Structure formats: structure tokens, C-alpha cells
């Protein structure tokens, strides 16, 4: 998508509003994972180097439309100051007198973080008046929060109407480049790996990718709905009964297109989802017995998947192969993560649990691009329009 980039704009002496994604886990005032803060640093530094005054805005958690101390962004301001090596101001509100006075005091080179946008219910309502108040703080708009781009909120869509220049930040630009390239002009073979719990969560993605990929590798609990649709016994495995007919149609469409649509042929099975569950393995091609459930792909499956991954030139992965949070059920997901990392292909992790999986496997640095968007990545890969992207200026 050819959107205006922050690199295209002269920001010297101007106030720039940057929508960032600082929705980080905080416990007892301490930030547990600063990945999303670190991801915004390149855009912030670029703007500071260009002589801008930088106003940052984000949501945090799910406050009930009013101020709540546990959802304050103040700890993030302190963390960001340490990462930038400079003072970061903090406004105790994102609109009104606190925000206005803090912005008025800014000079080029200053950084200001506004308080949690969702302390105002008008943010998620995309209230025009609230959006106009936010827009009144700055002269240029930049969105660097891909993870919220699928939401038409005041800070992602509504306020953009008040700006002539609406640019993508460096992180947003990177997301659009890699995800967009995978969908429009991938190097082939193009292999997509899809996992997770439900077919219903991935319908748009599967449907959209079927006409673009050379092979689909399916894992996770969603595989059992497809196996059930194929008439196979799946024991107590998680199945979406109302999606069996849809799964059968997708399998038929794949066959008609000559698309490789690979499903697990062997399984790690357990009597329940627990660390101390009884665990067993099925032989390739055997059904899952009554009283047991599939919790991970088996060794024959991940060896087959690894060969396909090795042959690929573009790899897109969204969703784990099993209940990887529980150690006895994590081997399939970790094996796939290592195979993707060992590949010379352009590898893209499409947000969500797949990001945790590559972190757990210790292969983060070997991945070409790790998306910061969960729902946003899914909707983009599903071919849906993202309001926060559409709102940005075209080049």
C-alpha cells in the first residue's frame, strides 16, 4: 500500500501527534514486557532528529471509560525516557487543560506522552468532538500503531480528518510492506502456516490466502474441525460443529484448485489440558481414540511441515500448532518455529500467539518480520480494510 511515510514530511518546528501502541503489561507499576515501547523508538527518534515536538498517545488495557490508576501510562513515560536517554513529559489527561498546557510548553526536541486515551469513552466511540480536541494538539498526524489499525476509534480514524498530512510511522510502514508484499507479490513457493483454536477466527484469512499461496499447513485445534469434516475420528478434540460444513467446502475448494492443504497425520493426545495430564501419541493415519484429545501435532506431521517450510521462499505463520503454553504439548509449535527460523525464505509472523511461540523457541532474531498486530494482522491478511490504514494519506 503506497501510503505517505513519516520520511516524506518536513516536521521541523512542528508539533507531531503520534498514535503509538503502548498497551504493555504492567504489574505493581512495573512494565513486564517493553517490546511495544521499543518498537516505537525508531519513529520517535526520526521525528526528533527532524526537529519536531513529539506528542505520543496510546491506550492501555480496558478501563471502564474513566480514569483508573492501574491503567495509567505514567510508568511508560519513565520507561520511554530511559530508552530515549532524554526527558519525557507526561500529561495527566489526553484532552482538556492538562493536555493543552503541556503541549503549549513544548519546544522542538521535546517528547510528551498523553494519559490513556481510553480514560474517555469517546475514544472507542469515535466521537467527533473528542477527535477534534485530540487533533487540536498538533499540526501533523502519524500512526505507528498497526495493532490498533483495525479499529475506527477517535485516535486512529476520527481525528485524521482534521489533518492535511496523515503519515505512516516507520513501524506501520514496515508492517504494510511485509504483509502487503506477502499478499500481492510473494516470492514462490509461498507457504502459509495457520494454527490456533478456531476455524471461525481464520475464515477470512484461509479464504483470502487460498488464491495466493502454494501450500497451506494447518495445525492447532482448528485442524480437528477439518479432520472431522473429512470423516475422521477426533475423540474429545476441540471441534466447532457449526463450522464442519464450511470446513468441508474449504477442503473441496482447495482440491479443485490443486492447492496443497495439509492437515496433521499424527497427534500428541492427552486425556485433559493440564501439565500433569496423561499423554500419548497416535501412529500416522490412526484415529484419535475416544476419551482422548489432540493437543499438538505429532513428529511425522512436523517433519512433513518442515520439508515444506524448507522449500519455501515466502513463509507466513499465524497461530500455534498446539497448546504450546503447556510444556508437554509445545514440541510441535517449537519445531515449526525452528524450521521457519532455519529457512532462508522471507519469514513473516502474523502477530498473536505465534509471536510468543518464536520467543519461547528463542528464534526471534532469525525471523524477517514479526508483526505487532494480532487482530489487525488477521484482518489485513483476510483482505479486510483497516480503518487506521485507509485514513492515512496516499502518496
Positions marked catalytic: 36, 198, 352, 375
Phi, then psi, of 225 in degrees rounded to 5: -70, -40
Widest distance between CA atoms in the chain: 70
Amino acid at each position: 500500500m503506497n501510503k505517505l511515510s513519516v520520511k516524506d514530511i518536513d516536521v521541523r518546528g512542528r508539533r507531531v501527534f503520534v498514535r503509538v501502541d503502548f498497551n504493555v503489561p504492567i504489574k505493581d507499576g512495573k512494565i513486564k514486557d517493553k517490546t511495544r515501547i521499543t518498537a516505537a523508538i525508531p519513529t520517535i527518534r526520526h521525528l526528533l532528529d527532524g526537529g519536531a515536538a513529539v506528542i505520543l498517545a496510546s491506550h492501555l488495557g480496558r478501563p471502564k471509560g474513566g480514569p483508573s490508576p492501574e491503567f495509567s501510562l505514567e510508568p511508560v513515560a519513565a520507561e520511554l525516557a530511559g530508552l530515549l536517554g532524554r526527558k519525557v513529559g507526561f500529561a495527566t489527561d489526553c484532552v482538556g487543560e492538562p493536555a493543552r498546557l503541556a503541549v503549549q510548553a513544548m519546544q522542538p526536541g521535546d517528547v510528551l506522552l498523553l494519559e490513556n486515551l481510553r480514560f474517555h469513552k469517546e475514544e472507542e466511540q469515535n466521537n467527533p468532538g473528542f477527535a477534534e480536541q485530540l487533533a487540536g494538539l498538533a499540526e501533523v498526524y502519524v500512526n505507528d500503531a498497526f495493532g490498533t489499525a483495525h479499529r475506527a476509534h477517535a485516535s486512529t480514524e476520527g481525528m485524521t480528518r482534521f489533518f492535511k498530512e496523515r503519515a505512516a510511522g516507520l513501524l506501520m510502514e514496515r508492517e504494510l510492506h511485509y504483509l502487503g508484499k506477502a499478499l500481492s507479490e510473494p516470492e514462490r513457493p509461498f507457504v502459509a502456516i495457520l494454527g490456533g483454536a478456531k476455524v471461525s477466527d481464520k475464515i477470512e484469512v484461509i479464504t483470502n490466502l487460498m488464491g495466493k499461496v502454494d501450500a497451506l499447513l494447518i495445525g492447532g485445534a482448528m485442524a480437528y474441525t477439518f479432520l472431522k469434516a473429512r470423516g475422521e475420528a477426533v475423540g474429545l478434540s476441540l471441534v466447532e460443529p457449526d463450522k464442519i460444513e464450511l470446513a468441508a467446502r474449504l477442503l473441496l475448494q482447495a482440491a479443485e484448485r490443486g492447492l496443497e492443504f495439509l492437515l496433521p497425520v499424527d497427534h500428541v493426545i492427552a486425556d485433559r489440558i493440564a501439565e500433569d495430564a496423561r499423554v500419548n501419541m497416535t501412529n500416522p493415519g490412526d484415529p484419535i481414540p475416544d476419551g482422548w484429545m489432540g493437543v499438538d501435532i505429532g513428529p511425522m506431521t512436523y517433519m512433513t511441515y518442515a520439508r515444506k517450510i524448507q522449500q519455501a521462499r515466502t513463509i507466513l505463520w499465524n497461530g500455534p500448532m498446539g497448546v504450546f503454553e503447556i510444556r508437554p504439548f509445545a514440541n510441535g509449535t517449537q519445531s515449526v518455529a525452528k524450521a521457519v527460523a532455519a529457512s532462508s525464505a522471507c519469514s513473516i509472523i502474523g502477530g498473536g500467539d505465534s509471536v510468543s511461540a518464536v520467543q519461547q523457541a528463542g528464534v526471534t532474531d532469525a525471523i524477517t518480520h514479526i508483526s505487532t498486530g494480532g487482530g489487525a494482522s488477521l484482518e489485513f491478511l483476510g483482505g479486510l480494510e483497516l480503518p487506521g490504514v485507509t485514513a492515512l494519506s496516499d502518496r
